Amino acid sequence: MSVFADSAGDVWLSTTGKRNGLARWDRRDRWFHRYSEGLPWLPASGVSLFAEDGSAGLWMGLLRFGRGHPEMARLRGPAVELFGGSENAPAGGIRAVCLDRQKRLWVGTDQNGLMRFDQPAAGRPAFRRYTMADGLSSDLILSLAEDLSGRIYAGIGSGVDRLDPATGQVIRYSSAEGMAPGEVHASFRDGSGVLWFGTEGGLSRLLSPPGRPPAPHRISITSLVVHGVPQPMSDLGETDISGLRYEPNQNDIEVGFAGLAFAPGETLRYQYMLQGADSTWRAPSFQRSVHYANLSPDAYRFLVRAINSEGVASAQPASISFVILPPVWQRWWFQLLVVAFAATAVYWLHRYRLTRLLELERVRTRIATDLHDDIGSSLSQIAILSEVASRLVDPAHVKLAEPLADIAGISRELVDSMSDIVWAIDPERDHVDDLIHRMRRFASDVLSARDIRLKFQSPAEEQELQMGADPRRQIFLTFKEAIHNVLRHSGATEVSVDSRVEHGWLHLRVADNGGGFNVDRDYDGHGLRSMRERAREAGGRVEIQSGPGGTSLTLRVPVGGRTVQRPPSPHE
C-alpha cells in the first residue's frame, strides 16, 4: 500500500488485503519486523501513508476510519498514540500528508477536509481542521504540496485550492485557469520551486503564482434605511457620511453597499464593522447589506470594505457616522433638572420639618410657661388659702377643719404633679442629664424625709444625649413609682440608684435592702403593670427581681434620638 524511508534509514511498509499489516525493514540487521500485536486498530484500519515530524516521530495516516475512530497514529519509541476522529465525523481515510517548512504536519482526508498539526512533536499535539465552511471547495483532499511562500496547495476533485495559513484565504485553480481536467491525485514541488499537479486528464505545471491583483477600486454606501424610511442618496453612492442624528425610536438601521472590481471574473466579498457595537471586523461574506435593530443610544461609525479573491482589501473603507439620541429622561439636561428638583424638594421638606419642630417647641414652651405661671400659681394660692382658713376655723368645728386640710394637701400634690408635667414638656429639658438631675432631686427629697440612705450613681459621660418629652416623662414616672413602692412596701433602710449610658441605651437600676415580695403573685394595685406599660411606651423594657434580701428594678430604654419600634403588648 505504501513505502516510506525514515531518517534512520529504515523502511516502513503497509499492506492491505484480507488483513491489513505493518512492517519495518531494519537497515542494521537487514530483517523485517512485523507490527501486529499491541495495535488492535491495525487489522480494521490499516495504514495508507507515512510522515515524519521534526523529532523522528513517525506519523501514520489510517486507510479507513469511521465515526469516533482515529484518523492518525503516531509512533514514538514503543508507544503508539491516536489522534483525530469524532462521533459526528463521516467514515473515510487519509489520502495525503505534507510536512511544511515550519514543521507543521498537514493531513488530507477524503471526507473530513484538511487537518493541521502545529506542533506534531509535542506530547499531546492539538490540531485544526479546515473544511468547506472555511472556504475549501471540497472536503475531499487527494494530494498536498507547499510552495516557496509557505502556502498549501490541496488537490481536490476538480482543481486545486491554495490555502494561505497566515490569513485563511483560499484561492481556487481549475480548468478555467488552464489546469488539466479531472481529480488531482498528485501534487509536487520540484527543486526550483515549480509546482506540478497530476490529474486524470494530464499533467499541469504552475510556473509561478498569478500576480497580486489590485485592490478594489472603490467601495460605496448605496442605500440607507432608517426605521423603514429610505434616506436620500446620490446615484453613485456615498463613501463618507457623517453628522447624522436620529431620535430614540429611529434605532433600526439598514445599510447597503457595493464595490467596484476591474479584474475579469473577480468576485468581491465584504467586511464591515460598527464601531460602538463591534470590536473587530466581521468575517468576509458576499452579503451586500447589513441590518442593525434596536441600537442603544450612543455614537456609532459604520465601516465597510471590499476584499478580492487574493484577500486584498480596498484602500479606503466607506463609512457612516451617526448618533442615536437617548430618550429625554436619559439626557444630561433632564437628569440635571431632576437632580435640581430633588435637591429643592429635600431642602423644602427639611425646612418644613424644621419649621414644624420650631413651632412645636414654641408651643411646648408656651404651654409649660402657662402651666407654671397660671395654673401652678393658682394651685399654690389655693393651698396657702386653705392653710390660712384652717387656722381661722374654731377648734370646736373639727368637721370644717378636715376638708380644708384635704384641700391644702390635694393642692400641694397637684402642684407637684404640675411641676412634673411642666418639666416633661419643657423643650429645654430634652437631655439625659436633665432627667438624671430630676430623678436625683426627687429621690433625695423623698427618701431623706424617711431617713432612708440614698446611693445615686450618675453616668460618667454622654449626658448631653437628646431625649424627647414623652420618653423622659415615662422614665421619670416609672422611677417615681419605684421610689414610692420602696417607701410604701419595702421597709428598706438603703436605696441605690445606678444609671449609665451604653451604645445609645440608658440602663437604670433601682435596688433596696427591704423585705422583698413575690413577683409572680397578682396584686390589686396597678403599680407594676403601669411601670411595664410605661417602659414599653418608651421603647424599652423593665425587669423586676425580688427576694428576702431586697428588690431591684432594671429599666433599659433607647436615648440619643435612637428610634425603636414599640414592642407589642402581651394582649395584642
Backbone angles phi and psi of 545, in degrees to 5: -125, 135
pLDDT tops 70 at residue 190: yes
**pLDDT of res. 67:** 66
Question: Which range is most confident: 135-149, 388-402, 461-475, 529-543?
Answer: 135-149
C-alpha cell at 346: 429635600
**Contact yes or no for 273/280 (Cβ under 8 A):** yes
The domain locations on the chain are 2-206, 218-329, 430-572
Rounded to an integer, what distance in angstroms lies between the CA atom of residue 444 and that of residue 438? Answer: 10
pLDDT tens, residue by residue, 435-491: 788 888 888 888 888 888 989 888 765 456 777 777 877 888 888 888 888 888 888
Rounded to an integer, what distance in angstroms lies between the CA atom of residue 57 and that of residue 48? Answer: 17
Grid look-up 446615484 returns 235
Give Cβ neighbours of residue 545 (< 8 Å, ≥ 6 apart): 519, 551, 552, 554
Backbone angles phi and psi of 61, in degrees to 5: -85, 135
pLDDT tops 90 at residue 152: yes
Q: Is 430-572 in the same CATH topology as 218-329?
A: no
Q: Which is more confident, 97 or 569?
A: 97
Instruction: Calculate what percentage of the chain has a pLDDT beyond 70.
Output: 78
pLDDT tens, residue by residue, 321-363: 999 998 888 888 888 999 999 999 999 998 888 888 777 777 6
pLDDT tens, residue by residue, 297-330: 999 999 999 887 667 788 889 999 999 998 888 8
**pLDDT of res. 570:** 41
Rounded to an integer, what distance in angstroms lies between the CA atom of residue 38 and that of residue 321? Answer: 67
Partnered with residue 507 across adjacent β-strands are 500, 556
Closest CA to 1 of 72, 69, 60, 80: 60
Count of CB atoms within 10 A of residue 453's CB?
12
318: left (phi over 0), alpha (psi -120 to 50) or beta: beta
Give Cβ neighbours of residue 387 (< 8 Å, ≥ 6 apart): 404, 408
435: left (phi over 0), alpha (psi -120 to 50) or beta: alpha
**pLDDT of res. 291:** 94
pTM, 2 dp: 0.41
Rounded to an integer, what distance in angstroms lies between the CA atom of residue 528 and that of residue 184? Answer: 110
**pLDDT of res. 562:** 45
The mean pLDDT of the chain is 81
Q: Are strands 47-52 and 58-62 parallel, antiparallel or unpaired?
A: antiparallel
Closest CA to 48 of 80, 11, 95, 89: 95
pLDDT level of residue 564 (50, 70, 90 thresholds): very low
pLDDT tops 50 at residue 571: no
* Alpha helix (H) residue ranges in 295-376: 332-370
Q: Please give the average per-residue pLDDT across 514-528, as a whole number.
A: 70
What is the domain class of 2-206 according to CATH?
Answer: mainly beta
Partnered with residue 348 across adjacent β-strands are none
C-alpha cell at 467: 431625649
pLDDT tops 50 at residue 47: yes
CATH number of 430-572: 3.30.565.10
**pLDDT of res. 301:** 94
CATH number of 218-329: 2.60.40.10
